[in-house]
Structure 1
Amino acid sequence: MSLVGQTAPEFSLPASTGQTITLSSYRGHQHVVLIFYPLDFSPVCSMQLPEYSGRQDDFADAGAAVLGINRDSVHAHKAWAAEYGIEVPLLADMTLAVARQYGVAIDERGISGRAVFLIDKSGVVRFQHVEAKTGDYTVRPEVVLAKLREL
């Protein structure tokens, strides 16, 4: 299911940063890089999210906010972020409702797949990549930064 060219599904979720984050609050002034990942503290996720977080300034320079999202709780997110130095907000989609809206929920395993969505300032999905397997991590920050520069 491709969402490219469509308005990104709206959501409002609690974040590791202590606030509730609503997608539409970015509309008009910032692009959003939405990263779905399976589980906090898992090996591949523990490479992916710190790598994106470490490039936060590059994303900000390109006019984008980076948000991580999965089914873990805000408490798990906070602990994981502290341990791995992750500074981007991590959103708690504990029922997988948002993952389902984006077509990346793996209900039989109770997790979301690994996926990256680039949502432009007008709220439209401009790039989407869903990994074939949850253990794959092929869309690195530089790929998304290049897509951002095309907007």
Structure 2
Amino acid sequence: MLETGSPAPDVVLEDTDGQAVRLSGHRGGHASLIYFMRSTSCPVCNRHVQDLIRRRDELAAHDVQVFVAVPEDRKEAAAWKAERQVPFPVLVGRRGTPHEMIGLSRKVFGSLQQSGSVLIDSQGVIRHAHGATLPTGGYDKKGILAAVEGLRAGGGR
């Protein structure tokens, strides 16, 4: 898993339209929050995405762009995004899953995909990184909000 304070890795993901999205590519722009869902069928993860949707104005006021990363392929991700009316870009891996690319591996004999979140400031530095095997622990709302508040205080916007 990525570490707070380290530079964002040069990982290239893909959105549901097939456009490349670089985790390290937002330097000088806005901060990026990526929520890594266990799967699009996970009811707990879907509730976490709904919370992000409810908080989108608050996050936008802090100049944070939200992304949702899923382990499914682009076609499945696009269908899920449309069905759930997710307003954020949904990301998939180009080779392997986005989760594998940042160290959110499968645990418990390879049967449970980890979920988590990463906040990258506008300078390309990781300000929050959290992962968990159980989906109830994968969305650290308090940690995310504290890190987002820290962007303003620390100038990492």
Q: TM-score, normalised by structure 1?
A: 0.84
Paired residue for 1:44?
A: 44
Paired residue for 1:33?
A: 33
Quote the offset at 1:61 in angstroms.
1.0
Paired residue for 2:63?
A: 63
Quote the offset at 1:69 in angstroms.
0.9
Paired residue for 1:125?
A: 126
Quote the offset at 1:63 in angstroms.
1.0
Deviations 1:57-81 (A, max 9, x none): 2211101111111211111111111
Gaps of 5+ in 1: none
Q: 1:99 to 1:137 in 2, by over 3 A?
A: closer
1:1-151 pair list within 5 angstroms: 1=1, 3-93=3-93, 95-96=96-97, 98-106=98-106, 108-109=110-111, 112-140=113-141, 143-151=143-151
Gaps of 5+ in 2: 152-157
User: Aligned-pair RMSD on alpha carbons?
Assistant: 2.2
SS in 1 for 2:21: strand
Q: TM-score, normalised by structure 2?
A: 0.81
Aligned AA (2:64): A
- Judge conservation of contact 2:104–2:131 (CA < 8 Å) in 1: yes
Length, aligned pairs only:
148
Tell me the distance in 2 between the aligned counterparts of 1:24 and 1:138.
Answer: 22
Tell me the distance in 2 between the aligned counterparts of 1:79 and 1:119.
Answer: 27
- Judge conservation of contact 1:50–1:85 (CA < 8 Å) in 2: no
Tell me the distance in 2 between the aligned counterparts of 1:117 and 1:137.
Answer: 11
